[in-house]
Amino acid sequence: MDTKWIKAYYNARGLQWADHKSALLFFLSEVGELAEAYAEVEGPGLTSEERELLTRFASLGLEADEIVSRKPGWIRNNDRLRKQNIAHEAADCNMMLSVFMESYAHISPDDALREKMALKLGCKAQDLDAFLGV
């Protein structure tokens, strides 16, 4: 995800850009929210093992949320109620993963994935589209 959109969004909301450790904790919190949403929406189709796993992810996400919430300037903008929108929760994960990657490695997750694919395919990242025919 292009972080220029995230930065503009943060500006519009008056949010502060997270350092990489906080961004990772925010990402883990968002993964917990996604797990919670998925379990709520898809619960009847899940095995007990899958439900338990998603419950643990949700719990760990809350734990990450508690840790990062102690950081000065942190703003909680979601009360973790009504998590039915799986797409929005997945988008939050994508956003926080992008913030983490930008803060940690100064690269987007998309660019990191292209680099990894190119390495595994034995080509240069800039040649990946042509190599894959896309």
Model confidence, pTM: 0.87
- Predicted confidence (pLDDT) at residue 58 exceeds the cutoff of 90: yes
Domain ranges of the chain: 3-106
| Position 6, amino acid | I
User: Residue 49's pLDDT band (boundaries 50, 70, 90)?
Assistant: very high
Query: Taking a C-beta distance cutoff of 8 angstroms, is the pair 116, 125 a contact?
Result: no
Q: Is 62 exposed, middle or buried (0-12, 13-18, 19+ CB in 10 A)?
A: middle
Q: What is the pLDDT of residues 71-93, one digit of tens each?
A: 876 666 555 566 589 999 999 99
Closest to 83 in 3D by CA, of 103, 58, 104, 105: 58
